[in-house]
Amino acid sequence: MNKLLRLFLLIAFMAFPAGGICQESEVASQTFSKQGVVTQVDSVASLLIVSDGIEQMRFFVPEGTKIQRGIDDIMLDDLESDDTVTVQYYKAADGTLKAVSVVDSNIIASF
């Protein structure tokens, strides 16, 4: 009986990694791109608001999101208002727009 229980637990952990099925991975497979100007950065709440002149979009920037200026990796709080950025993102199951990567086109600021 003990072997059967171990086998069941092994199969359960393999089928449901990290405590459950990750529904966001299905949504994350459909990514989008948005280019615009940074209007607000909140590094405490991990939020980035970008405007393309028509609409503002609010992105949650999870820890580990790749943020670059030119070829340099930077932090979220290195972004400034009026920087032109391109955000690769996906829409999570809860409707949140989650950034996968952010590229700051303002290369001059990195010198």
Say which residue the tokens 């200026």 belong to.
69
Whether the full predicted model's pTM is greater than 0.75, yes or no, is no
Residue 16 lies in a domain: no
CATH number, domain with residue 87: 2.40.50.320
Q: Which domain holds residue 104?
A: 29-110
3-state secondary structure of 13: helix
In 3D, which of 72, 68, 79, 75 has the Cα closest to residue 101?
68
Cβ atoms of 27 and 94 closer than 8 Å:
no
Q: Tens of pLDDT along 23-76?
A: 444 445 699 999 999 999 999 999 999 999 999 999 999 999 999 998 899 999
**Hey, how many other C-beta atoms are within 10 angstroms of the C-beta on 11?**
10
Number of domains observed in the structure of the chain: 1
Mean pLDDT of 101-105: 96
